[in-house]
Amino acid sequence: AQTVTQSQPEMSVQEAETVTLSCTYDTSESDYYLFWYKQPPSRQMILVIRQEAYKQQNATENRFSVNFQKAAKSFSLKISDSQLGDAAMYFCAYRSPLETSGSRLTFGEGTQLTVNP
Partner 1 sequence: GAVVSQHPSRVICKSGTSVKIECRSLDFQATTMFWYRQFPKKSLMLMATSNEGSKATYEQGVEKDKFLINHASLTLSTLTVTSAHPEDSSFYICSARVDPGTDTQYFGPGTRLTVL
Distances (CA, A) of 105 to 38, 93, 98: 15, 6, 11
56 binds partner 1 (CB under 8 A): no
CA–CA dist 2, 34 (Å, integer)? 12
H-type helices in the chain, by residue range?
A: 98-101
44 binds partner 1 (CB under 8 A): yes
Instruction: With contacts defined by CB under 8 A, name the span among 15-23, 58-66, 75-83, 106-114 that binds partner 1.
Output: 106-114
DSSP SS3 for 93: strand
Instruction: With contacts defined by CB under 8 A, name the span among 13-21, 29-37, 61-69, 74-82 that binds partner 1.
Output: 29-37
42 binds partner 1 (CB under 8 A): yes
Q: What angle do CA 44, 101, 64 make, to 5 degrees?
A: 40
Instruction: With contacts defined by CB under 8 A, name the span among 19-27, 57-65, 70-78, 91-99 that binds partner 1.
Output: 91-99
**Minimum distance between the CB of residue 97 and partner 1, rounded to whole angstroms?**
9
CA–CA dist 52, 75 (Å, integer)? 11
**Minimum distance between the CB of residue 35 and partner 1, rounded to whole angstroms?**
8
